[in-house]
Amino acid sequence: MATINRFEDLEIWKLSRELCNGVYHIIESNNLKNNFKLCNQIDGSSGSVMDNIAEGFERNGNREFI
């Protein structure tokens, strides 16, 4: 089994980045961008997924990461 040294190498982090980009494109492509509060909440929560994965990885503990 390969050792992962960076959280950017995790498949789940890559998928969360795709999710974040997808959410951004959905917001930009329709009338959601007119509702600023909703857009900020949705955009922030999708970015939070990536942040939480990175934060868990940096703690270097399996129990924390799970």
Residues 18-39 pLDDT 10s: 999 999 999 888 888 888 899 8
Mean of the per-residue pLDDT values of the chain = 86
pLDDT at 16: 94
For residue 29, report the phi and psi dihedrals to the nearest 5 degrees. -95, 0
In total, the chain counts a number of residues equal to: 66
* Structure tokens, 8: 């950017």
Query: Residue 44: is its pLDDT beyond 70?
Result: yes
Q: Measured between alpha carbons, how far is 11 from 57 in angstroms, rounded to an integer? A: 13
Question: Measured in whole angstroms, how far is the alpha carbon of residue 65 from the centre of its chain?
Answer: 15
